Amino acid sequence: MEKLPRGITGFWKKGKRRPSTTDESLIKNTVEKIKQKSLFRTLVLNAPKADNNFYVISLFSRNEKHLIGINSSFPLYCGIKSMPDWTTIEFYNLPNSLTVILDLNFTELRSDFLNTKLKEVHLTELDQVEREQIEYWNTDKIGNVIFNSYD
């Protein structure tokens, strides 16, 4: 993905066509598949709120914790290692036991790509309002554009 697609940030200008949305039923079905095939004691799905553009699936077992981010506009997902502050996400690659389930409906974005420094070429397809948000929040990594907490 050399150029980020219009709408990936979740922002749009009033009066313009709203970005596409990820099918929530696919996310719920994926959560059910993870429940059926895993040893996680707790599984929580958090929908996007007004100040972020991604779903978070939280998985907890006795020995493991995984956070999965799913973009609200495009069927893209990532592993979230931590969110040290509300503008930054630290990414990691999820274990194969999870990606084989997620890859049925979504495309994985690996940490090496998500941690890539943001360049002008990545922004050429975005609307002006999206570019303004990226500049305002001083976003420097591709991943923090695709999975953001802009308000």
Is 124 inside a domain boundary?
Answer: no
CA distance 145 to 133: 9
| Position with higher pLDDT, 4 vs 38 | 4
Instruction: Determine the Cα angle at 74 with ends 70 and 79, to 5°.
Output: 25
Total number of domains in the chain: 1
CA distance 98 to 103: 9
CA distance 98 to 37: 9
Instruction: Taking residues 115-124, report their average pLDDT.
Output: 96
Output the pTM of the full model: 0.93
Q: Residue 105 is part of which domain span?
A: 24-116
pLDDT at position 151 is 65
pLDDT at position 100 is 94
Dump pLDDT digits (tens) for 28-73: 999 999 988 877 889 999 999 888 899 999 999 888 899 999 999 9
Is 62 inside a domain boundary?
Answer: yes
Is 61 inside a domain boundary?
Answer: yes
What type of residue is 95?
A: P
Band the pLDDT of 16: cuts 50, 70, 90.
confident
